[in-house]
Amino acid sequence: MRRATPAAPSPLNGALVAGAIAVQLGALLALPLAIDADPRWGLALAPVVLATNSYWSLVHEAIHGLLFANRRINDAAGRLLGILFAAPFRPLRTGHLLHHRFSRTPRERTEVFDPAHTPRWRAALAYYPRLVGGLYLAEVMVAAAALAPKRALAALERRLEGDHTVAHLVVRALREPGAHAELRADAAAIAALYGASLALYGAHWWMLAAALAGRAFLVSFADNAYHYGTALDAPRDAKNVRAPRWVEAALLNFTLHGVHHLHPSLPWHALRPRFVAAGQRYDERWLGALARQLRGPIAVGRLPRRD
């Protein structure tokens, strides 16, 4: 298939980023003051949580260098979005780019297990916690690991090393020159921001905790939906799923994930035109793709392999 012609970032991105930052800062630092006066203001956290995957789509654009044409501005915006997301940008970018490289290979196929080495019940013990929030928790824990000295990261890399994971490759990238200092700065900013927010919420801390739990669920549950049950050894394959047009727009066309994997250099606003021009078809419906993951781990022999 022909490589898609590069397109410029959307002119809407500046407004979208500014709006996302304002909403997140408001939820963390301003809303608790209103809640202190009237706890019913806590309901305002619901739309903030429901917009989680839209927020992630902005981070995703920054990861691919598609948020702003200027690389320094793009990366600065990505770092700020990551801090507000409570997950440092650099490991998010490293992990996602490794996903594009190794998706559906033994290193990165979330729901697949080998029954010759792992019984299904044990695979399920790892799979379901990740599905309902564990992925986001792991991303947040990177911030905590960042505060450790480099030698501790080196030990962690050795501990995680293996042929069926990319975790040690993420840790290795964090030890590169300049990476550790950036990571520690972002982790410190996250700790300060969320520490201040927790103090402001005071007796209503549980509202902030509930919002973070909702964020963890939505991010983790959507992460592998576009790959669940697809062919193995096919890093460039992913599903295009049919969703209401307003959902597609709210997610910045993330539902056209198959187009994105074929053309990761295309910004979000160019995905639908490419989908139409290439005559591509939907693989299934959006809600069906999400729900299908609840079937759990799939034995490796039950999935086809791409030649």
pLDDT digits (tens, 9 = 90+) for 218-260: 999 999 999 999 999 999 999 999 999 999 999 999 999 999 9
pLDDT for res 160: 80
Note the pLDDT tens digit of each residue in 33-63. Answer: 999 999 999 999 999 999 999 999 999 999 9
Q: Does the pLDDT value for residue 6 go beyond 70?
A: no
Return the pLDDT at 228. 97
If one counts every other C-beta atom within 10 angstroms of the C-beta of residue 82, the result is 24
Please give the helix or strand (H or E) that residue 242 lies within, else none.
strand 241-242
Mean pLDDT computed over 198-215: 98
- Render pLDDT for 105-118 as a digit per residue (tens, 0 to 9): 999 999 999 999 99
What count of other Cβ atoms lies within 10 Å of the Cβ of residue 1? 8
End-to-end Cα distance, the chain: 16
Pair of tokens at residue 68: 């702003």
Question: CA 185, CA 83: separation in Å to the nearest integer?
Answer: 10
What's the pLDDT score for residue 220? 98
pLDDT tens-place string over residues 269-287: 999 999 999 999 999 999 9
Token pair of 203 as six digits: 């007796």
Give the pTM.
0.94
Best CA proximity match to 19, nearest among 67, 73, 55: 55
Task: Describe the chain by its helix, strand, coil percentages, rounded to 5.
Answer: 65, 5, 30
CA 282 to chain centre: 22
Percent of the chain surpassing pLDDT 90: 83
- d(C-alpha 96, C-alpha 261), whole Å: 11
- Percent of the chain at pLDDT exceeding 70: 98
- DSSP conformational letter for 270: G
Q: pLDDT value at position 250?
A: 98
pLDDT bracket for residue 148 (50, 70, 90):
confident
pLDDT band at residue 307 under the 50/70/90 scheme: low
Q: Which two tokens stand for residue 164?
A: 């069926």
pLDDT at 95 over 70: yes
Q: Which of 219, 200, 181 is nearest to 86 (CA)?
A: 219
- Residue 54's pLDDT is 98
